[in-house]
Amino acid sequence: MATSAKGAAQRKSGSASQKASASKSRGSKKSPSGPPDLSRDEELTAYREMLLVRRFEEKAGQMYGMGLIGGFCHLYIGQEAVVAGMQMVAKEGDQVITAYRDHGHMLATGMDPKGVMAELTGRRGGYSKGKGGSMHMFSVEKGFYGGHGIVGASVPLGTGLAFANRYRGNDNVSFTYFGDGAANQGQVYESFNIAKLWSLPVVYVIENNKYGMGTSIDRASATTDLSQRGRSFDIPGEQVDGMDVRAVKAIGEKAAKHARDGKGPYILEMLTYRYRGHSMSDPAKYRSRDEVQKMRQERDPIEQSKARLVSDHKVSEDELKEIDKEIRAIVNEAAEFAQTDPEPDPSELWTDVVREREAS
Amino acid sequence: MAKLRYAEALNRALREEMQRDPLVFLFGEDIGSYGGVFKVTRGLMDEFGAARVRDTPISEQTLTAMAVSAAMAGSRPVLEIMYADFMPLTLDALINQASIYEYIWADQVRMPFVLRTQGGGGAGAGAQHSKSLDSLVAHIPGLKAVAPATPWDAYGLLKSAIRDPGPVIFLEHKLLYNMRDEVPDGEETVPLGRARLVREGTDVSIIASSRMVHESLLAADRLAGEGIAAEVVDLRSLRPLDLDTLLGSVARTHHAVVVNEGWRFCGYAAEVSATLMDHAFDDLDAPVARVTMPDLPIPYSEPLERAVLPGPDEIVAAVRRTVA
Ligand SMILES: Cc1ncc(C[n+]2csc(CCOP(=O)(O)OP(=O)(O)O)c2C)c(N)n1
Ligand SMILES: [Mg+2]
């Protein structure tokens, strides 16, 4: 292919610089130059998006505690900058696919908070009419392809979305998210090989929040620099400070361009952290309170963005309060809807079914 | 006799078998320091060390194949697959390897491994964490499959499964882990391949396994009020099937209703039903009835999930139709 020589050269320089940025992003969170600043509008957009996810998740947590949400509920609190930053580089027609920690992704793709919350409470107005629950929602309109409970499954599925983009000849990109734990599933590497072999437009976004359930990454992974997991396939990869929405956006832009330009897949390892347990039923005894506190106090993506809004963009306390108020109103409205919307009618069981003649 | 929770009974069986046989080791996702998501392996890593109770990466396909070959190479692995819904990832190793090699390599290999998993609905866990896939594993020749309904059987069957010279799939149920009941104090095992007559009756045999045994007992209580004496048989082993107990029961009652939480089409209940037609046709006064999940993904919504899971209502209705 015509692009292959150029691609190889790019990959080389990519992996050289990523080494440097990897060690930097591990040590101090900022590389010396720091990620490029966002414009005032961009920073405000990112802030709103992250705050919406945070408040939505806090509300979902409360509602779970009140017994309004059952089964599983995996909160995204702490990881907001990842999806907020990545959505800033997505364009119409791009796809997003992830695992079960999916509420943030849905909100960021523009899905209606009411429909998401109502799915959590299993109501008619939920995105899956109450049949899916927290882990299983979908919106073709917004390019959100789920919501998957089988760890690792989002990766080949996301690769297939890219396959369709390539086949149909559009310039859309599949943003395929998965966790540090999922990164050890075999199908991830089958996907990497195929995506590279066929130059598929996919950006693999590994959300490394340091734990897969109760197992820390170093207890599950022989190598913990997950950005380098595509190396033997010659897929460029970078570690990104996933707590800094500016860094996510900047590197996301580069990766998306690479994929859109027909140069094939790109791997972004987002160094992030989940503040809550794996799911609502996990007391998270496998890590110290200090570890969590330190992250919240020193690295919180929303606090960082807020500080920049105040100091760099001279956004006033009143304006921030106003935003907070707006977002609380959106979330409250979603929660209200999710509690008053009726449960699905029993007849709903038999809609959307490929139904054979009933056996006697 | 001690009363233990189903999860504790399993834990005790694992502990005793590890004490008895140094070749027995456990591996699986979050079974060690986390103690297993249903706490079945709680405390075992502390007691036996991280080499015998191993936390693994999330890699079910490979883990299962490793259980197969590690067993062939002379150890006794006990692998935990967190949810039965992840069993499809293990199937190549089970269908194309575990079920074949003892047969074609004749006397050269033994495959003493146990794959523990848990399934079942009723927890609001949705379509990818609620399935009963009994038929998927019971379908495979060369494997044994058991599904205990009580703490006693959980304990006794797990010990037998670990001691068995071949592969055994051990199917637990997430709603049974907190069930507390008697477990024998001694070293008592429950043999594989033997059903248990749980309740005697003269009018109909309700044949069930796992949680459906308890639903069947509730149904039998109700039926008694209508003057129908239902016998309840707990299969315990899905494969091999205890044909003698089944045929004995049907010879007494002349009617059979098979209850299984899995899907209907090509499901486990269909197999039991066909087996009864094969062997007990002359004893039967009516066709064997099946009570199963409808052929649907399990919905999250609580009322919808309740509607698809077989329970006393459906069992009572099936019995009434059968004996009418
Ligand atoms: C195939 C499969 N194996 C195991 C599980 C159980 N499980 C659910 S989440 C999880 C941990 C995944 O961790 P990670 O990929 O890091 O995602 P995170 O929860 O941190 O977002 C495990 C083991 C599953 N759902 N699917
Ligand atoms: Mg993780």
CATH number, domain at A214?
Answer: 3.40.50.970
> The CATH number of the domain where B117 resides is what?
3.40.50.970
Identify which of A320, A277, A272 has the alpha carbon closest to the alpha carbon of residue A86: A272
Chain A: residue whose CA lies nearest to B61? A186
Query: Does B256 reside within a domain?
Result: yes
Active-site residue, B47 included: no
Min Cα separation B192/chain A (Å): 31
In chain A, pLDDT over 70 holds for what percent of residues? 89
**Number of independent structural domains in chain A:** 1
Average pLDDT, chain A: 91
Residue type, B129: H
* B107 pLDDT tier (thresholds 50, 70, 90): confident
**Per-residue model confidence as pLDDT tens digits over B272-292:** 999 999 999 999 999 999 999
* Complex confidence, ipTM: 0.96
Task: Report residue A44 CA to chain centroid gap.
Answer: 19
Query: Does A46 reside within a domain?
Result: yes
Helices H, strands E: what count in chain A? 12, 7
Measured CA to CA, the distance from residue A121 to residue A337 in angstroms comes to 10
* B102 pLDDT tier (thresholds 50, 70, 90): confident
* B186 pLDDT tier (thresholds 50, 70, 90): confident
Ligand closest to A82 (CA) is: 1
Query: Does A343 reside within a domain?
Result: no
Q: Which of A4-8, A128-132, A282-286 has the lowest mean pLDDT?
A: A4-8
The two three-digit tokens of residue A142, written as one number: 């917004």
**Beta carbons of B264 and A358 less than 8 angstroms apart:** no
Verify that B122 and B258 share a domain, yes or no. no
> Among A151, A154, A224, A229, which residue has the most ligand 1 atoms within 8 Å of its CB, making it the best to mutate?
A151
3-class DSSP state of A202:
strand
* Residue A12, pLDDT score: 36
Task: Report residue A98 CA to chain centroid gap.
Answer: 7
* Residue B170, pLDDT score: 99
Measured CA to CA, the distance from residue A226 to residue A269 in angstroms comes to 6
Verify that B46 and B168 share a domain, yes or no. yes
* Residue A82, pLDDT score: 98
Is the model's pLDDT at B126 over the cut of 50?
yes
Kindly name the residue from B8, B17, B102, B129 that is annotated as catalytic.
B129
Instruction: Give A181's DSSP letter.
Output: T
Binary contact (B62, A186; C-beta < 8 A): yes
**Beta carbons of A238 and A208 less than 8 angstroms apart:** no
Where in the sequence is the domain holding A89, given as residue range(s)? 37-336
Residue matched to tokens 């075999």 = A186
Measured CA to CA, the distance from residue A209 to residue A183 in angstroms comes to 12
Q: Is A248 in the pocket of ligand 1 (CB under 6 A)?
A: no
In chain B, pLDDT over 90 holds for what percent of residues? 96
**Per-residue model confidence as pLDDT tens digits over A139-178:** 999 999 999 999 999 999 999 999 999 999 999 999 999 9
Min Cα separation B236/chain A (Å): 27
3-class DSSP state of B236:
coil
Residue matched to tokens 């494969």 = B239
**Beta carbons of A204 and A155 less than 8 angstroms apart:** yes
CA dihedral sign, ordered B145, B150, B151, B153: negative
Instruction: Give A38's DSSP letter.
Output: P
Considering only the beta carbons, identify the residue of B30, B125, B297 that sits closest to A213. Answer: B30
Instruction: Give B260's DSSP letter.
Output: -
Where in the sequence is the domain holding B202, given as residue range(s)? 196-323
Identify which of A319, A325, A293, A292 has the alpha carbon closest to the alpha carbon of residue A306: A319
Nearest CA to ligand 1 atom 8: A151
User: Which of B149, B183, B217 marks a domain boundary?
Assistant: B183
Please enumerate in sequence order all residues whose Cβ is within 8 A of that of A217, keeping only pairs 6 or more positions apart, or say none.
A180, A181, A208, A210, A211, A224
Query: Does B189 reside within a domain?
Result: no
